[in-house]
Amino acid sequence: MRKFIYPIRGVSVLTFFLLTFLTTFAQTTGTIHGIVKDASGNPLSGASVAIEGQKGGAITDASGSYTLRVPSGSYTLLISFVGQETQRYQVVVAAGSTVQQDASLKVLADLGSVVVIGSRSRQPRSKLSTAVPVDVISTREIKQFAQADVSQLLTYAAPSFQSARQTISDGTDHIDPAGLRGLGPDQTLVLVNGKRRHTTALVNINGTVGRGSVGTDLNAIPAAAIERIEVLRDGAAAQYGSDAIAGVINVVLKKSYKGFNISGLAGQNVTTMPYAGGVDITDGLNRQIDFSGGYAWKNGAYINLSGQWLKRDGSNRSGLDNIPLIYYGNAGSLPPAAAIPPGVHPTDYYRWLIDKDKAFADSRQYDRRNIVAGNSSANNLGAFLNAGFTIHEKVEAYFTAGASHRTGAASGFSRNPNSWSQQPVLEDGQRYYYDGFLPQIHTTIDDKSLIAGVKFPVSDWSFDISNTVGQNTIRYDIKNTGNASLPASSLVQTEFYAGKLGFLQNTVNLDVTRQLSVGAGTSLNIAFGAEYRYEQYKINPGELNSWQDTSVNGRRFQPEPVPSYPGTSLIYTPPGGPAVPGAQVFPGFRPSDSTKAHRNIYALYLDGELQGDKFILGGAVRYERYKEFEADYDNLSGKITGRYNINKDLAVRGSVSTGFRAPSLHQRYFQNTSTQFVGGLPSTALTANNYNPIVRDAFGIKELKPETSLSFSGGVVGTIGNHLTFTVDAYFIKIDDRIVLSTQFARSNNLVDSIMKKNNVPASVNALQFWTNAINTETKGIDVVVTERFKMGKGNANLSVAANFNENTVVGGLNTNSVIDDPKVNPSWNNPNANPANDLSTGLFDRQQKSRIEVAQPKSKINITFIYDLPKWNFMARTVRFGKVEYIHNLDPYSTNPSTGAYFNDVGLGTDQTFDAKWTTDLVVTYKVTRGLSLTVGANNLFDIYPDRIYIDPRNDPAAYYATPVAGANKAAGGYNASRDASNRGRFLFPANQFGFNGRFLFARINVDVVDLAKTIKSAIPKK
């Protein structure tokens, strides 16, 4: 009986406490009830209703209703649904009461965001309802991306956009070349808030993608300042003017943001480089602080200030220098047969010398990893102010100001101890840098811009008058270097001011629009306007010693004697010669290079667009006139666009347009002498401007003329169900008279040497290059974007697949002239036994320059992104497939003499190389600690993927040339020749143009919304 009573007693006690709890809970709780609808008033079934910072919640039923029972108190209610903007509501629940909280959700901004670019219509239009393809990257997506700067962000977000950081390429190390659809950086127009942005002062003259072009520095715009980025994938020169051949990028700055947000990021490369069995590397430390603060008033006034501070350390993925000699001899190669004592076998002599040099290098603790192949270091500080206010009734003024200051340091190629012609010397004749040196290029890049304008109506017309001014300057300071041609001194100068580049652009715009109703459901938008643009380009010379050449009557270099072979008395002294003038790695701009060129540009445009219930039909025409001191030309461009809605879920669209790109002032007037390495050996190259007599007279190159283009595009856009959208767009672009930088004409070619001597080019210059309208190209491809939003468990998911397939081709023959086509300067035309590589017509734009347009960038890119949102967590996984790229050597490895069968060029047969497609994966995880505070960790290139290794000719392997040090015929085993491959003496391991070669990058970020966090803290403090 007792065993039975004890359980009954326990149950009674439990029941008593349970009834007491339920009674108490009922007296201290309340109810939140409501109905959730979409923007059209339709009930939303399956919407998520949660209380911020708490688990659990409710899901709406078929009628959109929900009910929550909560303890009395104040709460933040979060109501969300797939594809809709999450809404926040503050509710106060009293004990025993019921609070009614309904919600009306709007479509997410990135699904229905209003697109500014591509049309001048005043009618709001989403990216899915445009007549031409437009990508929109919203501020929400920008915050989630793992990439820290705008150009890299776009590379991974927009498949048609490609940018890759370069290495050992002078100023291009600091400003990334970037473009759309595989075209050049100067064939994409960049706007900020719909206004033309200035380009940089830099023109790319080294061996990189975009060689010879001028681009826009997107990284001067802090990511924190951006509301969204619109990428118009369509030719638009008839709408926006010169440069918009591939498309237009419009950066829209924050306007209506209220609050203050600050974030901090820290990360670095943590990688294992696939080289010599695997090298563990930790470098490239990145520290970044972003902030954005703003306020918007009910009368339409707004202000936003955003900025960024970034400090990035450099990275290095170089290999070991495989050159035979570091200290002995001259310039690293094995000495000639004259150095070998009588009776000594050449193989024995060279092996002895290699061993002796290696022993001495070891005693000096010389490191053969003597260059830095990787990212430059950078310090960047930038800010943007965006504001607008009403002056009087409907008159609105707007104002945008931006400034950035960036310093960077990038290394050039090493000058080894036996690089005698490049070594500054002490008074005793000894090398100043006894163990060689690695010169550095330090840049200071300042970027400033200002937009000011006013909008107002006149009757039914809308007027927009604005002025946009922008300036970019680049200062070069060369450090850890020397001018070898200066007289010997006990006070060797090692730092030089090398000069400054500057570009200024001022644009005045008048834009007038009006929308007319022309029938039931049909409207006509009319727009017209005018533009005046002033451009100025400057080159300021460097200090005297940075470029001065005293070697003619001054110092000549003289290598030290090579030690005598054991048991012999012969001491070989390599011959000397004139020392190389100018600061090593970057000789300063000479007074003869300096310029201050300017031009005036005038434009008129007319734009019309007819829109009905099922169609859009638009047309635009633009006339531009360029007036320069030496040139005067004009252009008329036109465009027709159309879209037809087959039904509510499917539409077709297309466009046809003509366009043009005027030669930049940089391409007309830039001139300098620089040290570039060709085949691992230094070459002093003259980049001559378009007005240099050697270009006009000796090579017959006339005044640069504008590029012209013809573009076609067509595609389909639609939806499947409620949440899946797709766009497919094909395109074709033909460009005539494309402006390119020629191949370097080498002085080792007797024809070129004769031309240089006749034109009094200094003997220290051994290569020449210049701009010319040399080629015509065709670009064709297809863009595909598929996006689906769906409910997954307790969260909302977004899956998108975007791809670009693209092909660029140089078509037809080169655009040459009677001078370059003269048989006298093309020996192989009449003599099949002559090497075609020495013909001037071949050298104008050789196979390597052609490959930079056709195959040096990925022909395809596929982006798969998955985003999953939970009340407290956010997950983003993205994998990007970068298509294959190719390297093509300037000399054809397979070219042979038809009479003898001998190879013309001693270039390895594996040097022309295809680098396979690769997938890289990013993963980002964010935890929302509380309202206003989130923590993020992530990885770029999570699986540590590298491009394929660059081919190294096996004959240049140290073991190979040690075994057979005597050179044979071309392609035969033996000897050493740095020009046999593209590895630059084994030091370049990976190509830069695919997706970079830094490996895995790990980072952490903290994000604070100061206003929201303050509210959270305030609500947590008990009220007295």
Sketch out the chain's domains with CATH numbers: 29-107 (2.60.40.1120), 150-322+368-547+582-950+988-1014 (2.40.170.20)
Confidence at residue 95, expressed as pLDDT on a 0 to 100 scale: 87
Mapped onto helix, strand or coil, the DSSP state of residue 202 is coil
Confidence at residue 650, expressed as pLDDT on a 0 to 100 scale: 94
Confidence at residue 2, expressed as pLDDT on a 0 to 100 scale: 42
Share of the chain above pLDDT 70, in %: 93
pLDDT 10s digits, 385-428: 999 999 988 899 999 999 999 999 999 999 999 999 999 999 98
∠ CA 168-861-943, nearest 5°, is: 70
- Amino acid letter at 370? N
Q: Residue 884 belongs to what H/E stretch?
A: none
How many Cα atoms sit within 13 Å of 875 on the Cβ side?
9
Confidence at residue 503, expressed as pLDDT on a 0 to 100 scale: 97
Over residues 64-87, mean pLDDT: 81
The torsion angles phi and psi of 197, rounded to 5 degrees, stand at -95, 150
Q: Residue 358 belongs to what H/E stretch?
A: helix 346-363
Question: What token pair was written down for 914?
Answer: 């295809």
Assign 3-class secondary structure to 461-504.
EEEEEEEEEEEEEEEEEEECCCCCCCCCCCCCCCCEEEEEEEEE
- Of residues 340 and 676, which shows the higher confidence score? 340
Question: What token pair was written down for 710?
Answer: 């013809």
Confidence at residue 676, expressed as pLDDT on a 0 to 100 scale: 67
The torsion angles phi and psi of 600, rounded to 5 degrees, stand at -115, 135
- Amino acid letter at 760? N
pLDDT class of 3 with cuts at 50, 70, 90? very low
To 10 degrees, the CA torsion angle through 312, 317, 322, 325?
Answer: 20
∠ CA 223-225-231, nearest 5°, is: 65
Mapped onto helix, strand or coil, the DSSP state of residue 170 is helix
Place of tokens 């000069």: 499
| Residue 961, pLDDT above cutoff 70 | yes
pLDDT class of 23 with cuts at 50, 70, 90? very low
In 531-620, which residue ranges form alpha helices assigned H by DSSP?
544-547
Comparing 289-298, 752-761, 927-936, 1004-1013, the range with the smallest average pLDDT is 752-761
Q: Residue 550 belongs to what H/E stretch?
A: none
Confidence at residue 522, expressed as pLDDT on a 0 to 100 scale: 86
Q: Is 282 left (phi over 0), alpha (psi -120 to 50) or beta?
A: beta
8 A C-beta contact, residue 457 and residue 466 = no
To 10 degrees, the CA torsion angle through 754, 756, 758, 759?
Answer: 170
pLDDT 10s digits, 245-300: 999 999 999 988 889 999 999 999 999 999 988 999 999 999 999 999 999 888 88
Q: Residue 2 belongs to what H/E stretch?
A: helix 2-28
pLDDT 10s digits, 867-910: 999 989 999 999 999 999 999 999 999 999 999 999 999 999 99
pLDDT 10s digits, 636-648: 999 999 999 999 8
pLDDT class of 236 with cuts at 50, 70, 90? very high
- Write the DSSP assignment of 239-300 as a string of letters: HH-TTTTSEEEEEEEP-S--EEEEEEEEEEEEEEESSTT-EEEEEEEEEEEEEEEEEE-TTS
pLDDT class of 107 with cuts at 50, 70, 90? low
Over residues 376-386, mean pLDDT: 95
- Of residues 392 and 53, which shows the higher confidence score? 392
CA distance 703 to 849: 21
In 888-957, which residue ranges form alpha helices assigned H by DSSP?
none
- Of residues 996 and 916, which shows the higher confidence score? 916
Over residues 527-544, mean pLDDT: 97
CA distance 954 to 973: 9
pLDDT class of 244 with cuts at 50, 70, 90? very high
Confidence at residue 721, expressed as pLDDT on a 0 to 100 scale: 84
Share of the chain above pLDDT 90, in %: 64
Over residues 124-137, mean pLDDT: 80
How far from chain centre, in Å, is Cα 814? 29
Comparing 20-34, 260-274, 401-415, 596-610, the range with the smallest average pLDDT is 20-34
The chain-wide mean pLDDT, for the chain, equals 89
For the chain, the first-to-last Cα distance in angstroms comes to 55
Comparing 432-446, 536-550, 746-760, the range with the smallest average pLDDT is 746-760
Cβ burial, residue 65 (10 Å; 0-12/13-18/19+): middle
Whole-model pTM? 0.87
pLDDT class of 24 with cuts at 50, 70, 90? very low
Confidence at residue 466, expressed as pLDDT on a 0 to 100 scale: 97
Give the contacts of 879 (CB within 8 A, at least 6 positions apart): 863, 864, 919, 920, 921, 922
Sign of CA dihedral 224, 226, 230, 231: negative
- Amino acid letter at 523? S
| Residue 1, pLDDT above cutoff 60 | no
pLDDT 10s digits, 705-745: 999 999 999 999 999 987 899 999 999 999 999 999 999 88
- Of residues 463 and 685, which shows the higher confidence score? 463
Q: Residue 408 belongs to what H/E stretch?
A: strand 395-411
Over residues 83-111, mean pLDDT: 77
8 A C-beta contact, residue 708 and residue 773 = no
How far from chain centre, in Å, is Cα 734? 24
pLDDT class of 163 with cuts at 50, 70, 90? confident
Confidence at residue 79, expressed as pLDDT on a 0 to 100 scale: 87
- Write the DSSP assignment of 360-394 as a string of letters: HHHHTT--S--S--SPPEEEEEEEEEEEEEEEETT
Confidence at residue 587, expressed as pLDDT on a 0 to 100 scale: 93
Longest dimension (CA), the chain: 126
| Residue 597, pLDDT above cutoff 90 | yes
Mapped onto helix, strand or coil, the DSSP state of residue 415 is strand
